[in-house]
């Protein structure tokens, strides 16, 4: 059997791209990128949790459909709540990260 040589430079996984960006940027840019990524992740989790809530036993998502559920969860109030909680969680985790 022949050995198969795999070329790793063809496709770079996403997390390696994140590491490359973080390692090539100065400290201030690293903190900004990390803040954007962490806040975006918390907002994503918030909205996915709201969407899952539309499809539990008491939600109307099963009855009215996916577009109704998406329209129901993407409101200005939910966006402000998501951003507020994401920023608060970022500040708490940064505090704990620097403390430990």
Q: Tell me which residue of 83, 14, 80 sits closest to 42, measured CA to CA.
A: 83
Biggest distance spanned by C-alpha atoms of the chain: 62
pLDDT tens figures, 69-80: 899 899 999 999
pLDDT tens figures, 9-58: 444 454 455 555 556 666 788 889 989 999 999 999 999 999 998 888 77
**Summary count for the chain: helices (H), strands (E):** 5, 0
């Amino acid at each position: 059997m022949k050995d198969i040589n795999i070329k790793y430079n063809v496709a770079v996984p996403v997390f390696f791209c994140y590491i490359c960006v973080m390692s090539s940027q100065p400290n201030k840019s690293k903190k900004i990128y990390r803040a954007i990524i962490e806040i975006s992740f918390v907002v994503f989790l918030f909205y996915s949790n709201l969407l899952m809530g539309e499809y539990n036993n008491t939600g109307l998502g099963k009855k009215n459909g996916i577009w109704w559920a998406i329209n129901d969860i993407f409101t200005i109030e939910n966006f402000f709540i998501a951003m507020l909680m994401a920023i608060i969680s970022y500040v708490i985790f940064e505090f704990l990260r620097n403390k430990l």
